[in-house]
Chains A and B, each alone.
Chain A
């Protein structure tokens, strides 16, 4: 069943107020919530238990694939596909392969970092319900928002709004789909 609204959102003036509100909401038992801020706030990640993510693993795998690709590419080409005898040096001249192996490790790892970031964040996402809140444009300037989503089992329109009002926000608003 599609909920009639995406959630309710409270607006705060300072990062401290947002972090305290996020903590209070977690304590109250809300789990489907997200905070929006114009810059990263470490305490907020703590409050919302966001410290673990898959990105380091993705980057590690990307780097390993890049390294193997770089080495095998050179090995295959210099030993099998296009062997060049230069001064009688061995065809499998591994010291000369190190640089390109290294560069491709970095290249693949960086590409996985960026595409991993986009994938884990679900970006690009040109539309999101939060953009329907007129004042949400300030989330990229100087205001801090906490949104409790309607998919949360504890969500109840009136009760959740009342709870958010107790956190002394500047404003509480509905987030339409």
Chain B
């Protein structure tokens, strides 16, 4: 028995991309989405229309806010932060999955990222744009937002660098800038492809200008590869720092339920959790609308679902630790804050978020669930709702019932809170579907490197 080598029949691993593709067909399929003159699919039209409609709602909500002031939102003492900051944290968190896919998975040499990193990065960029709206609109006088930055001014005042809110300004603006740069650098070779394939003069000219004359020279590729690795190396600590700084907005304050050292990792895990949910929520309909199942395969969905589950379990663990730390602190205010979350005014939101973020992700243990795009899509929406509620409960439950019971109050959202939130979803969809129509949603050159024929055969030399 022992002398016979054991043969374990391993099932062939699922390919990252479907077999049968060539450099040409990959290029044509992805570029056709952008370059074809045909009317885009109904899915695109519908999503873009919804996005555009909600964008108009956003403009209305912001217009009313500018005229009438912050009172149109439900902000009343003691809850002076509510939906706005919830939305800010939610959107920034969603953005994080894009950077994780493009930077961290690049450093880890996870090749499956190559066909989802482009639209995930676009998602990051637009999510951060939506996130940035809220702190600025919440300023009260949003048109003076440049006061947030240190600059020589005749008032002779400067921001207070000991405040986490100022750290946030730097973290989020750096994040937005670096994400944009990374995305653009990734696009350059594909813009050159579009320039070479476009037949329309205007398209050829525009893509040509944006491609900056990229010609695929080996000398350029060598520097380019170094640049991608360096940018990934820089973006990795950056993305972890951004949500850490977002969590500092809370932890540096002494509000019960906020002042805690495990917020940074807890927030980062939550960010990646919700971000992967958004990646799935975008990838699943996109790939079926454009017939890209050969490039964004079930393997991708499976991997993304696994990351979602892993981070979801970290988030679940954090909830348990949060409750434990509150109880173990021996501090009546901390204990009351946790107890109020579970049984107080916002108990329905709390238990819904527990159902969405602690119970629901466990379904992803099952391969059946992970291999069904429809269920995964529904699950990702559940996760997005759960993560929104998590931020809402952390922010509003703690603020409504803090140290001084005589000033407790209940936050009620107004229709303008809802309109502004839906409006940023519109802004996101509008920008995202514009991107789908105008730029390649999958990184063409990176998918080419995945093909078996891209390997240089040494023995033939």
Chain A residues packing against B (C-beta within 8 Å): 14-16, 19-20, 22-23, 34-45, 48, 50-51, 53, 55-56, 59, 63, 73-74, 77-78, 81-82, 84, 86, 89, 93, 96-97, 99-100, 102-104, 106-107, 109-111, 113-114, 116-118, 120-121, 123-128, 130-131, 136-142
Chain B binding surface SS class:
helix
From B223, B448, B449, contact of A53 by CB (8 A): B223
A23, A59, A63, A110, most chain B CB atoms within 10 A: A110
- Select from chain B the residue with minimum beta-carbon distance to A137: B196
A residues less than 8 Å from B38 (CB atoms): none
From A14, A36, A40, A78, contact of B224 by CB (8 A): A40
Q: Are B454 and A39 in contact (CB under 8 A)?
A: yes
Q: Are B185 and A140 in contact (CB under 8 A)?
A: no
Rank and list the top 5 A-B pairs by shortest CB-CB distance, nearest first: A142-B23, A124-B212, A125-B213, A50-B222, A137-B196
- Select from chain B the residue with minimum beta-carbon distance to A50: B222
Q: Does B406 contact A (CB under 8 A)?
A: no
Known: A96-B162, A130-B215. A82 touches B157 (CB 8 A): yes
B171, B222, B231, B461, most chain A CB atoms within 10 A: B222
Known: A19-B456, A128-B213, A137-B196. A81 touches B218 (CB 8 A): no
Q: Does B174 contact A (CB under 8 A)?
A: yes
19 A-B contacts, Cβ less than 8 Å apart?
A: A16-B456, A34-B219, A36-B218, A38-B23, A38-B448, A40-B445, A50-B222, A55-B227, A59-B234, A78-B162, A96-B161, A107-B177, A110-B182, A113-B230, A121-B223, A123-B214, A124-B213, A140-B189, A140-B195
Q: Are A109 and B234 in contact (CB under 8 A)?
A: yes
Q: Does B37 contact A (CB under 8 A)?
A: no
Cα(A96)–Cα(B448), bound, Å: 46
Cα(A99)–Cα(B218), bound, Å: 38
Q: Are A41 and B234 in contact (CB under 8 A)?
A: no
Stretch at the interface among B122-130, B237-245, B292-300, B324-332: B237-245
Q: Are A15 and B196 in contact (CB under 8 A)?
A: no
Cα(A131)–Cα(B216), bound, Å: 11
A residues less than 8 Å from B24 (CB atoms): 141-142
Q: Are A51 and B22 in contact (CB under 8 A)?
A: no
B residues less than 8 Å from A97 (CB atoms): 161
Given contacts A34-B218, A126-B213, 16 further A-B contacts (CB under 8 A): A23-B461, A77-B150, A77-B161, A96-B161, A99-B167, A104-B174, A106-B178, A106-B238, A110-B235, A117-B224, A117-B227, A121-B223, A123-B214, A126-B209, A128-B213, A140-B197
Q: Does B181 contact A (CB under 8 A)?
A: yes
Q: Are A102 and B219 in contact (CB under 8 A)?
A: no
A residues less than 8 Å from B230 (CB atoms): 55-56, 59, 109, 113
Q: Are A125 and B193 in contact (CB under 8 A)?
A: no
Q: Are A117 and B223 in contact (CB under 8 A)?
A: yes
B residues less than 8 Å from A50 (CB atoms): 218-219, 222
Cα(A48)–Cα(B220), bound, Å: 12
From B159, B184, B231, B456, contact of A15 by CB (8 A): B456
Q: Are A100 and B223 in contact (CB under 8 A)?
A: no
B residues less than 8 Å from A77 (CB atoms): 150, 158-159, 161
B residues less than 8 Å from A130 (CB atoms): 215
From A56, A86, A121, contact of B160 by CB (8 A): A86
